[in-house]
Structure 1
């Protein structure tokens, strides 16, 4: 994917990871709340840090690395210096994401007239968090994705995507059971090129096809 890639998504998760209570009093109250429920708040934070450590070292500036390596990035109430570093990084990240979204939307709008109307209409439906119920290869050039949209961000309960005139599919793993995160679409020589970032499995999926049939079901 050119914009909403695996690395893009991983960095986005760090934005949420770097959240702290506004005051030391709130921090202490949170620790006490966990203790009253028989849980160790700091121990959980250490596990979170270990889970994200490689990505933190990869995406955060070197000035953060000592905090990451000694475990104090999230296991102690942040100093004013660290909080300022985090806020500055978040401000820069916000601007980068705004610029990235604008760039993709600009390129999409500029090429919209070159795309089949069916994929343009699909692009107006948010498939975020829709779950892949099944996939089917109906023929050498027809591929189907059946989506459960119950937990998604649209008005459908199910959506069936039938790709016609398939020229190429890149699918590192079986996407059955996966969750549709983000997508990009571009004109192809005769049709379109759709990229989708899936989770569970966390993969980048690509399909090039001439057309798509979108069939949706809803409770209404």
Structure 2
């Protein structure tokens, strides 16, 4: 049984689609700031509520529906007791999602111990915000290359090899440039299962296989230096190439 799913992620997002100030002081500051900027705060808040109303009503407890329908859920006139209950509900939704992420992490850490040390090295750091660089299919194997630029891994490029793939399920075909958001690895009776929730576009991808391996690579220091400078011309590029070790 999976901890992570697209439905779980979407529920969490819907529960947090309408943040509101948490105290009288926060509301007072928001009103003062709006007045100073000549903004109609009430009108803007009504528009924000209208934009998320449909999704919010899909997850909102019945006790708050009245305040959505009359447009006061995110207005300073909302009764304090209702505001506190709404904030508590949103906080509990966040806590529930954090527990799901923790369970997925624990599942992954337990499962990865059955795999080669290179795979363990990869999962020792987060893949969050990595992107798909390339996908190659070869017989019953699938090669997935991911780029960690802008992510949280010290490794620059990771090459997963999913060997003897038995099933692959997705609601949207995975493609170049998609972002890793959440993921979970499971040990099964006959091998392993790996699930990833992607963004841009949103997708839930699950692949089962008998085994998996991984390789990872680091970019040269010269690459990081050139990237940090943020300006590439013919001279700097030639200097960069000259510093590379062809071996």
Question: Shared fold by TM > 0.5?
Answer: yes
For structure 1, the 5+ residue unaligned runs are: none
Q: 1:185 to 1:50 in 2, by over 3 A?
A: farther
Q: SS at the partner of 1:17?
A: coil
After the TM superposition, which segments of 4 or more aligned residues of structure 1 sit over 6 Å from their partners? none
Distance 1:70 1:134, change over 3 A: farther
How far apart, CA to CA, are the structure 2 residues paired with 1:172 and 1:98? 24
- Whether the 8 Å CA contact 2:105–2:184 is kept in 1: the answer is no
Question: Partner of 2:217 in structure 1?
Answer: 216
Cα pair 2:122 2:216 within 8 Å, conserved: no
Structure 1 residue 66 corresponds to structure 2 residue 45: no
Q: Distance in 2 between matches of 1:7 and 1:15?
A: 14
TM-score with structure 2 setting the length: 0.72
CA distance in 2, matches of 1:159, 1:112: 16
How many residues are paired up? 216
Q: Distance in 2 between matches of 1:90 and 1:114?
A: 38
**109 and 140 in structure 1: CA distance in 2 versus 1, 3 angstrom threshold:** same
State whether residues 169 and 205 of structure 2, in contact with CA within 8 Å, keep that contact through their aligned partners in structure 1: yes
Which residue of 1 is the match for residue 231 of structure 2? none
**TM-score, with normalisation over the residues of structure 1?**
0.79
Considering only CA atoms, is the larger Rg found in Structure 1 or Structure 2?
2
Equivalent-residue separation in structure 1 for 2:9 and 2:37 (angstroms)? 30
**Any conservation in 1 of the 2:133–2:147 contact (CA below 8 Å)?**
yes
Give 3-state SS (helix, strand or coil) of 1:87's partner: helix
2:134 equivalent in structure 1:
134
Could you tell me whether the CA contact under 8 Å between 1:193 and 1:206 is conserved in 2? yes
2:161 aligns with 162
- What is aligned with 2:181? 181
What residue is the counterpart of 1:28 in the other structure?
31
User: 1:81 and 2:78 equivalent?
Assistant: no
SS across alignment from 1:184: strand
Report the aligned-residue RMSD. 3.0
Local SS of the residue matching 2:64: helix
Pair 43,11 (structure 1): closer, same or farther in 2 beyond 3 Å? farther
How far off its partner does 1:125 sit?
2.1
2:42 & 2:11 partners in 1: Cα distance? Answer: 23
Q: Residue 57 in 1 paired to residue 70 in 2?
A: no
* Residue in 1 that maps onto 2:8: 8
Which sections of structure 2, spanning at least 5 residues, go unmatched? 222-247
The residue matched to 2:136 in structure 1 has which SS? Answer: strand
